[in-house]
Amino acid sequence: MAAFNTLDDLADGQRVLVRVDLNSPVEDGVVQDNHRFDRYAETVRELADRDNKVVLMAHQGRPGRDDFVSLDQHAEILEEYVGKEIQFVEDIYGDDAIAAIEALEAGEILLLENTRMADDELPEKAPEEHAESDFVQTLSPYFDAFVNDAYSAAHRAHASTVGFALELPAYAGRVMEAEYEYNTGVAERARETEGQVTMVLGGNKSEDVISVVNNLGDAIDTFLIGGLPGELFLRAEGYPVGMDVGDMDLLDDQWEETKDTLEDLVANRRDEFELPTDFAYEDDGERAEIALEDIEEKTTGYLDIGHDTIDAYVPIIEESEAVFVKGAVGVFEDDRFADGTVELIEAIGRTDCFSVVGGGDTARTLSMYGLDEDDYDHISIAGGAYLNALTGQELEAAEVLIEQAD
């Protein structure tokens, strides 16, 4: 376990600045509820119940993107989960923010505006430089402690993730603690496990899958591949899948970028992974399936692995001692195309194996389809940070916390 200072080391009744990660999908300007809210609610409630004045910082989207919106909706959603009022101020470190911070009573909670609306936030800089920014220098004197719970943003060296830890006594929140322990521990756990170790790899990016296969190849016995990378691996084997059709713009560019590596993997390491043998697609509004062998030319998008593939993958999971998931194998947000992701995750849940499930929004599958979180050792709510952990890359904001620990 990492040598963080944690909330167990933090005295009660303090002025606490807390970085959480409420970055969420936004559809038509509406912030979508997701697992991040209920996870962070636990840290926030604990801090408020311990009579702290709790000030939350978080980001949403990036400048220039449609999901770059205010955090006012986040405050309302989080409030439901915390069960206490979450005040919101449309300011980050200006006069309005300072006034709202100073007016807080013990046990009260305030959310500041989207940190990425501050010019100081985004440039990737060393923690020491961020610590000197106006953002960090202005806010720090109003607090006794900084809690970083934003594991899923810990791969970003931004002012709010790395700067405050140098100016204030710094602690890891509950989410940071658990995520760091399980996700960073995947490789070691996989190497130590004596029986079958399996990893489900899906999502949208073949580059991510290649990076995991290259970094964990020695530790994982079988990779079960789906999602868009599944199609791209099959294209590397010469099948007529893995290309864009219609106005799709998801596959051809990645193919150009990764085809040499994919061809090398299928030529030299084919025994390490399983690939789909059938796919699901939309036909007249319904789910339909087609066997890989029957595809002469790709004319439609494939949105899930088919049931023959599921039937081949599930027994491998059932005989595993440890199973890790990175990414969904289909478009699970649409229930017609959720079978692959849900049935594989269900199989993990009923198997007596060590399990970590994560990658992008994959955690959402559990709440959407009524799966029991207790059937898994850890459900990660991180995307890029989870990938970094799996591939052994540093999470700068977590490293800063460790360096600052007693």
Residue 348 binding ligand 3PG, by CB under 6 A: no
Residue 53 binding ligand 3PG, by CB under 6 A: no
C-alpha span between 324 and 378 (Å, rounded): 10
**Which residues, 6 or more positions from 149, have their beta carbon under 8 angstroms from its beta carbon?**
18, 19, 20, 21, 40, 43, 172, 173, 174, 175, 176
Residue 153 binding ligand 3PG, by CB under 6 A: yes
Structure tokens at 160: 């709010």
Whole-angstrom distance between the N-terminal and C-terminal Cα of the chain?
Answer: 15
**Least distance CB 155 / ligand 3PG (angstroms):** 7
C-alpha span between 140 and 168 (Å, rounded): 7
Residue 23 binding ligand 3PG, by CB under 6 A: yes
CA-based torsion, 315, 316, 317, 319: positive or negative: positive
Residue 384 binding ligand 3PG, by CB under 6 A: yes
Question: Contact, 55 vs 17, CB < 8 A?
Answer: yes
Compare residues 150 and 234 and give the one whose CB is closer to ligand 3PG.
150
**Least distance CB 210 / ligand 3PG (angstroms):** 19
Question: Contact, 25 vs 361, CB < 8 A?
Answer: yes
Compare residues 169 and 327 and give the one whose CB is closer to ligand 3PG.
327
Binding-site string for ligand 3PG from residue 204 to residue 243, where x marks contact by CB under 6 A and - marks none: ----------------------------------------
Binding residue (CB under 6 A) for ligand 3PG from 130, 156, 174, 205: 156
Contact stretch for ligand 3PG (CB under 6 A) within 151-159, 179-187, 227-235, 274-282: 151-159
Question: Contact, 113 vs 121, CB < 8 A?
Answer: no
What number of helices (H) and strands (E) belong to the chain?
Answer: 16, 17
Residue 152 binding ligand 3PG, by CB under 6 A: yes
Residue 383 binding ligand 3PG, by CB under 6 A: yes
**Least distance CB 365 / ligand 3PG (angstroms):** 17
The residue whose two tokens read 């599930």 is 314
Compare residues 153 and 166 and give the one whose CB is closer to ligand 3PG.
153
Please report, as ranges, the residues that interact with ligand 3PG according to CB under 6 A.
21, 23, 62, 152-153, 156, 383-384
